[in-house]
Structure 1
Amino acid sequence: MIAHDIKAVLFDLDGTLIDSAPDLGAAADKMRTDRGMPSLPLENYRPMAGAGARGMLGIAFGITPEHPDFPAMREEFFRNYESCMTQRTYVFEGVAQLIALLEERGVAWGVVTNKSMRFTAPLTKAMPLFATARAVVGGDSTPHAKPHPEPLLEAARQVGVQPIECLYVGDDLRDMQAGKAAGMGTVAATYGYLGSTDVKEWGADVQIDTPLALLKLLERVRQAA
Structure 2
Amino acid sequence: MSSVAFRGVRAVLFDLDGTLIDSAPDLGAAADGMRLRRGLPSKPLAEYRPHVGSGARGMLQVAFGMDAEHVNYEQYKEEFFVHYESCLTQRTRPFEEVDLLVSALLERGMRWGVVTNKAQRFTTPITRAMGMFDSAATVISGDTTPHAKPHPEPLLEAARRMSLLPAQCIYVGDDERDIRAGRSAGMWTVAARYGYLGAGADVASWGADAEVSSPLQVLQLLEPS
Within 1, Cα distance between the matches of 2:25 and 2:186?
Answer: 33
User: Which residue of 2 is the match for residue 152 of structure 1?
Assistant: 155
SS of the residue 1:148 aligns to: coil
Equivalent residue for 2:65, pick from 43, 62, 66: 62
Q: Is the 8 A contact 1:2 1:184 kept in 2?
A: no
Asked if residue 210 in structure 1 is aligned to residue 211 in structure 2, the reply is no
Q: Is the 8 A contact 1:2 1:185 kept in 2?
A: no
The amino acid of 2:9's aligned partner reads I
User: Which residue of 2 is the match for residue 4 of structure 1?
Assistant: 7
Structure 1's consecutive aligned runs of 4 or more residues displaced over 4 angstroms after TM superposition are none
Q: Is the 8 A contact 1:28 1:56 kept in 2?
A: yes
Within 2, Cα distance between the matches of 1:53 and 1:209?
Answer: 26
Tell me the CA shift for residue 201 of structure 1.
Answer: 1.1
Q: Is the 8 A contact 2:190 2:212 kept in 1?
A: yes
Taking the TM superposition and a 5 Å limit, the aligned residue runs for 1:118-137 are 118-137=121-140
SS of the residue 1:187 aligns to: strand
Asked if residue 94 in structure 1 is aligned to residue 100 in structure 2, the reply is no
State the percentage of identical aligned residues: 61
Question: Structure 1 length as normaliser, TM-score?
Answer: 0.96
Asked if residue 143 in structure 1 is aligned to residue 161 in structure 2, the reply is no
Taking the TM superposition and a 5 Å limit, the aligned residue runs for 1:183-222 are 183-196=186-199, 197-219=201-223, 222=224
Within 2, Cα distance between the matches of 1:139 and 1:133?
Answer: 17
Equivalent residue for 2:31, pick from 28, 31, 37: 28
**Quick one: structure 1 residues 183 and 2, their matched pair in 2 at CA, closer, same or farther if it must change by over 3 Å?**
farther
SS of the residue 1:154 aligns to: helix
Tell me the CA shift for residue 117 of structure 1.
Answer: 0.3
**Quick one: structure 1 residues 147 and 2, their matched pair in 2 at CA, closer, same or farther if it must change by over 3 Å?**
farther
Within 1, Cα distance between the matches of 2:160 and 2:98?
Answer: 24
Within 2, Cα distance between the matches of 1:185 and 1:42?
Answer: 33
1:182-221 per-position Cα deviation (integer Å, ceiling 9, x unaligned): 00000000000001211111110000000000011113xx
Once superposed, what is the RMSD of the aligned Cα atoms?
Answer: 1.2
The amino acid of 1:205's aligned partner reads D
Within 2, Cα distance between the matches of 1:85 and 1:127?
Answer: 12
Q: Which runs of 5+ in 2 are unaligned?
A: none
1:110-140 per-position Cα deviation (integer Å, ceiling 9, x unaligned): 0000000010011111111100001000000
Q: Is the 8 A contact 2:5 2:222 kept in 1?
A: no
SS of the residue 1:9 aligns to: strand
Within 2, Cα distance between the matches of 1:3 and 1:192?
Answer: 22
Q: Which runs of 5+ in 1 are unaligned?
A: none
User: Which residue of 2 is the match for residue 171 of structure 1?
Assistant: 174
Within 1, Cα distance between the matches of 2:146 and 2:89?
Answer: 27
SS of the residue 2:215 aligns to: coil
Q: Figure out how many residues of one structure are paired with residues of the other and give that number.
A: 221
User: Which residue of 1 is the match for residue 118 of structure 2?
Assistant: 115
Question: Structure 2 length as normaliser, TM-score?
Answer: 0.96
